[in-house]
Every structure is written in C-alpha cells, then in structure tokens.
Chain A
Amino acid sequence: MITLDKNLCKGCNICTEFCHQHVYEESLTLDKKGVYVPNPKNVERCTKCQICSLMCPDQAIEVEEDDED
C-alpha cells in the first residue's frame, strides 16, 4: 500500500523516475495547487525497497511494510 500526500507533493517526479519497478505514473492533469501529482498506479509491482520514500524531497510518500493482501 502506497500513500501519497497531495498536500506535500510538489510534482518533481523523482519518485516516477527512480522507482526501478516503474510503480508511479506521471500525471497529465494539474491539481488545484498547480502541481502534477504522480499516480502510484502499478502498486502490485512494488518491492517495498523504500527508495521512493527515501528520495522524495517533500516526505510525501509512505510505503507500508505489511500488506493485507
């Protein structure tokens, strides 16, 4: 489970670029703050390596360790 805080994200897409599993997808629509917030679309591919949560400069990402599924 990946949670992305839209109030913190500034749309830099570092997560989109550096997730080796290509979990995130760049957004094509601006949100109300004028930010292209990426979408963690392919969650099932996530290996929970935590690179995205370590590299997000705005602490906007949480990757939960234990999944229910």
Chain B
Amino acid sequence: MDETKENRFMKYLRRERLPNIFCAGCGIGIVMNTFFNGMEMAEVPLEEVVMASGIGCSSRIPGYVKCDSLHTTHGRPISFATGLKLANPEMNVVVFTGDGDAAAIGGNHLIHSARRNIDITVICINNSIYGMTGGQISPTSPQGSYATTAPYGALENPFDLSRLVTAAGASYVARWTTAHPLQLSKAIKKGLNNKGFSFIEVISQCHTYFGRKNRMGSPIDMLKWMKEESVVKRKADKMDESELEGKIIVGEFHNKPAPELSQINCKLLEDKCTAGKSSAFRSAYQGD
C-alpha cells in the first residue's frame, strides 16, 4: 500500500503486527489515536517517549508502538515507570493501564506515585470490567452493573478514580470518554507537558463484556451513551447528587503544578555529591 495513503498515525505503529488484537469497535484503538494526536500537539517526538504497561487489554498498546517499552507484571507498570523516570529523567514516561490493573492490584502504586508527583503520564482506560479474563467485576464497575462475577449486580461502591488520584496529590488529572476524541487529545497534550504526575482517565466501551452483560448494545450505542450521559465538571459542580446519578463527569479535575520528584532527586544528588559529577543518573546512556 502507498505509504502516503496510510493512516496518519501509521508511522508510529509496528505495521507488521496489525490489525490489532482488540475487538471490532473497541475503545482502546481510539485511545491509541488520541495519544498520538496529543503527542503531536505537545510536540513530543516519539523517540523521547518510553511506555510501560501492565496486564489487561489496554496494556497491549505499547506492543503496537515503535518506541521503547516495558510490558510488565499485573498492576506494576507505574512502579517500573518510576524506575525509568528516576534512571533517565529526560524521558517522557507514559503508562497505559486499565481499571483492573491500576485500581485493583496496582491501586497502591497508583496513589503513592500520585503522592510523589513523579513526572509520568498515566493513561487509564476505564471500561468498568475485566475484559481480557472474561468479564469480572472491577473496582470501577458501577453499583448494580452485571458481570460474570456479579450475576445479581455489583454490590460494592465503585472508585471514582479521578477524584481518588486528585486527593492523592497528582498535579494534573482529567477524565474524558472515547466519544470525546478531541478533548481527550488535548488532555493528553496537557498531561505530557505537565512536569509532574498526570492522570488521564478514559471511559471506554467494552461492548464484548460490559456491553453484553448490561445490555448496552453495539460499540456505536455505547459511544452514543457516553456522549449523552457526560456532564462537564464545571456544570456538574453546580448540580446536586440526585441529578448526577448515572452521569459521567468529564473535564479537568485538577491542574496545579507542584514540585516533582525526579527533579528534587537530581538536585539533591548534585548538592550532596562531593566526588565531582553525580554518577547515579543516566550512567547507562553515557557509557561510564
């Protein structure tokens, strides 16, 4: 195929591995596109990006991208990303994770990295269910929603991830859905440019499990539902709880620059190192 007639993001992708593994109409492919779009808007070259992911459908993304990446263990991508950032603070470290990976098994890593405000960008694709393993309830499944492990509906309260991460100390937090690709691209751009912990939550359609179990129809039906049920944060702040039932609050939750861990760490090393130049950082890249 003529290269000029390929999709504009194809140059970032490992062509030989496509078509991707995701179900037809899955939101994860849309998140991939919006990431590249946001990256171009932020003027970050792909060569300066390193990706880390855990386990789950969303964690398959880095495998398709032509950049350095780590496909790690379940729930731990943020820990690996922390190591990457501290070893080479010049890299743009991006984590792709899902609601199961980031909020259940990796929940502690998530809140502590937010607390440290380390400069990594976490893109959490929240489809409210475990897709890869057959449709089990996740910590973000809405109360009353059905899943293979909740035949009578989920009994527990779900996490509001964006609010959780804001409270934990992240400096940039936004939530959008796959039905808002332009706003989402812009949030990713801001997240990449923010020097600190950036958390971008993307509500996404898993029609294969969440959609089927909850009779929500096709990916198109789910995208329309997300669009219709979304309320921007500014408006939602003025509404009361009963009005917001079942709504998806989207927009910027937090945007306030704060001191960042890898810089603080670098500075400490420079200040305390008496042997001339500090050698703990970037040694692998300097050949010393």
Contacts and interface: CB of A to CB of B under 8 A. Distances in A.
Contacts of A1: 5
B6 interface: yes
A14 B181 contact: no
A55 B219 contact: no
Contact of A18 (B19, B28, B223): B223
Contacts of A19: none
A58 B19 contact: yes
A31 to B, nearest CB: 13
B7 A57 contact: no
Interface stretch (B8-16, B152-160, B161-169, B245-253): B8-16
B26 interface: yes
B33 A12 contact: no
A59 B1 contact: no
Interface in A1-19: 1, 3, 5, 7-8, 10-14, 17-18
A53 B5 CA distance: 12
B29 interface: yes
Contacts of A13: 25, 220
B199 to A, nearest CB: 22
B24 A5 contact: no
Interface string A34-69: 010000000000000011011111111110100000
B37 interface: yes
Contacts of A62: 5-8
Given A10-B19, A18-B223, A56 B28 contact: no
B22 interface: yes
B61 to A, nearest CB: 12
Given A8-B19, A58-B20, A14 B220 contact: yes
A52 to B, nearest CB: 10
Nearest to B34: A54
B26 A57 contact: yes
A62 B171 CA distance: 36
Nearest to B20: A58
A12 B34 CA distance: 18
B216 to A, nearest CB: 15
B13 A59 contact: yes
Contact of B220 (A3, A12, A50, A61): A12
A14 B7 contact: no
Contacts of B18: 8, 58-59
Contact of A14 (B6, B25, B28): B25
B70 interface: no
B9 A57 contact: no
Question: Which of A14, A18, A56, A59 gathers most chain B CB within 10 Å?
Answer: A59
Nearest to B23: A10
24 contacts: A3-B5, A5-B1, A5-B6, A8-B18, A8-B19, A14-B219, A35-B24, A54-B37, A54-B182, A54-B185, A56-B29, A56-B33, A57-B22, A57-B24, A57-B25, A57-B26, A57-B28, A57-B29, A58-B24, A58-B29, A59-B7, A59-B13, A59-B32, A64-B4
Given A14-B223, A17-B224, A51-B181, 14 more contacts: A3-B6, A5-B7, A17-B223, A53-B7, A53-B33, A54-B30, A57-B20, A57-B24, A57-B26, A57-B28, A57-B29, A57-B32, A58-B20, A60-B7
